[in-house]
């Protein structure tokens, strides 16, 4: 497949250049805003509401069944966040919202220390309605919820003072997440919201001076998703070699959903590329059909590879055979990123520039 892509690159540079793509930016912005962004945040809002309800039910009547339901609601909520995470511009960037949804990576173990202290101190103000709103992001986010409700040593389903407090803290996190998701969705969709900012970019507004700028933000979201999957979500837990594997650097290792997260990220990246009217169509319209088809196949292949890993990521990085598969996924993603940030961006007249992981 790499040979196919590289061959197609040669064809691209013999093409007619980026001018053919200019008229497609407005179509792309509308297609991705209405076809990818809005649905992603709507699903996230619904899932966080479900998490709030399931956690409140657990606290009201602790027990194994309610604990299972709360854990399932967490998986749903985290999945919808991972589907929305690739959208790296717009309302999510304000007030540290991305970290408030998921505080990861936590390089210095800040959240673990703060959660441990909170559970020991049992401050009633922290579990009052809105009590965590002004607190550290380390106490507000889904990774902290995971520590409390999905950790094997959890007491959140027990009728003890410690258990009741832990559950109440988890319920406050779920309520905070429900409100935060609703705010982000509203910031996109309300009259005068960011959806209108993106769709009105061609005429100029306070945020954009042309339709190419939100199109560039979408392209940066796409390449940035690949960067994060490569550098943070895969290479960090892989370490330098088998002996140096660092399994607990895997995202959500406690709930064993690291690979599910990556697959969800890549599915949204795939949608950013393949949605009708988006980058794939711009590339095809520029006469680069072979490159477009190669990229579509590469997205499908790498997602299948991620789904095909037989064990959780934190286990795979320490097993020689599974580690080989993870390394193959990394190379596949690097090739995708290289082609999209280079020949594809050039052909459709956009510049990727720097991403958040550059320099890590």
Q: Does domain 2-32+210-348 have CATH number 1.10.3720.10?
A: no
pLDDT at position 15 is 41
The predicted-structure confidence for 279-304, as pLDDT tens digits, reads as follows 999 999 999 999 999 999 999 999 99
Residue 191 CA from chain centroid, whole number? 26
What DSSP line would sit under 172-240, residue for residue?
A: HHHHHHHHHHHHHHHHHHSTTSHHHHHHTGGG--SS-SSTHHHHHHHHHHHHHHHHHIIIIIIIHHH-S
pLDDT at position 165 is 94
- Domains in the chain: boundaries: 2-32+210-348, 45-189
Residue 22 CA from chain centroid, whole number? 29
The predicted-structure confidence for 41-84, as pLDDT tens digits, reads as follows 999 999 999 999 999 999 999 999 999 999 999 999 999 999 99
Cβ-Cβ contacts under 8 Å for 123 (sequence gap 6 or more): none
Half-sphere exposure of 192 (CA within 13 A, CB side): 1
pLDDT at position 4 is 46
pLDDT at position 8 is 45
Rounded distance between C-alpha atoms, residue 26 and residue 199, angstroms: 7
**Ranges of residues in the chain whose predicted pLDDT is under 50:** 1-22, 359-360
Rounded distance between C-alpha atoms, residue 11 and residue 144, angstroms: 49
Q: Which residues of 47-69 are buried (b: 16+ CB within 10 A; e: fewer)?
A: bbbbbbbbbbbbbeebeeebbeb
pLDDT at position 13 is 38
Peptide bond before residue 105 is cis, with ω within 30 degrees of 0 = yes
Q: Which homologous superfamily does the CATH classification assign to the domain defined by 45-189?
A: M75 peptidase, HXXE motif (1.20.1420.20)
DSSP letter (8 states) at residue 342:
I
pLDDT at position 23 is 55
Secondary structure of 25-89 in HEC code, one letter for each residue:
HHHHHHHHHHHHHHHHHHHHHHHHHHHHHHHHHHHHCCCHHHHHHHHHHHHHHHHHHHHHCCCCC
User: In this structure, are residues 298 and 290 in contact, taking their beta carbons and an 8 Å threshold?
Assistant: no
Chain position carrying tokens 């540079």: 13
Same fold, 2-32+210-348 and 45-189: yes
Four-residue CA torsion sign, 346, 34, 94, 358: negative
Rounded distance between C-alpha atoms, residue 69 and residue 66, angstroms: 5
What's the predicted TM-score (pTM) here? 0.92
């Amino acid at each position: 497949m790499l040979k196919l892509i590289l061959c197609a690159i040669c064809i691209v540079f013999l093409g007619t250049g980026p001018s053919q793509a200019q008229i497609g930016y407005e179509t792309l912005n509308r297609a991705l805003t209405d076809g990818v962004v809005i649905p992603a945040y709507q699903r996230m809002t619904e899932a966080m509401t479900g998490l709030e309800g399931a956690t409140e039910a657990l606290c009201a009547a602790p027990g194994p069944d309610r604990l299972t339901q709360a854990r399932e609601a967490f998986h749903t909520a985290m999945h919808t966040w991972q589907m929305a995470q690739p959208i790296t511009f717009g309302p999510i960037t304000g007030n540290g919202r991305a970290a408030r949804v998921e505080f990861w990576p936590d390089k210095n173990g800040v959240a673990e220390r703060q959660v441990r202290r909170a559970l020991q101190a049992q401050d009633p103000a922290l579990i009052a309605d809105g009590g965590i709103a002004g607190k550290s992001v380390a106490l507000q986010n889904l990774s902290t919820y995971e520590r409390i409700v999905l950790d094997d040593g959890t007491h959140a389903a027990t009728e003890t003072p410690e258990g009741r407090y832990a559950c109440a803290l988890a319920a406050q996190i779920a309520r905070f997440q429900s409100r935060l998701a609703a705010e982000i969705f509203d910031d996109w969709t309300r009259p005068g919201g960011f959806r209108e900012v993106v769709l009105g970019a061609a005429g100029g507004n306070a945020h954009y001076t042309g339709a190419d700028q939100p199109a560039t933000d979408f392209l940066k979201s796409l390449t940035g998703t690949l960067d994060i999957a490569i550098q943070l979500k895969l290479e960090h837990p892989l370490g330098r070699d088998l002996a140096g594997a660092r399994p607990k650097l895997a995202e959500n290792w406690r709930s064993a959903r690291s690979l599910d997260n990556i697959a969800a990220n890549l599915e949204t990246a795939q949608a950013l590329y393949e949605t009708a009217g988006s980058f794939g169509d711009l590339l095809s319209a520029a006469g680069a059909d072979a490159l477009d088809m190669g990229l579509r196949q590469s997205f499908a292949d790498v997602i299948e590879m991620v789904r095909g890993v037989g064990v959780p990521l934190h286990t795979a990085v320490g097993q020689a055979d599974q580690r080989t598969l993870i390394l193959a996924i990394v190379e596949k993603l690097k090739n995708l990123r290289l082609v999209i940030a280079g020949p594809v961006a050039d052909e459709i007249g956009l510049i990727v520039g720097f991403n958040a992981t550059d320099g890590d």
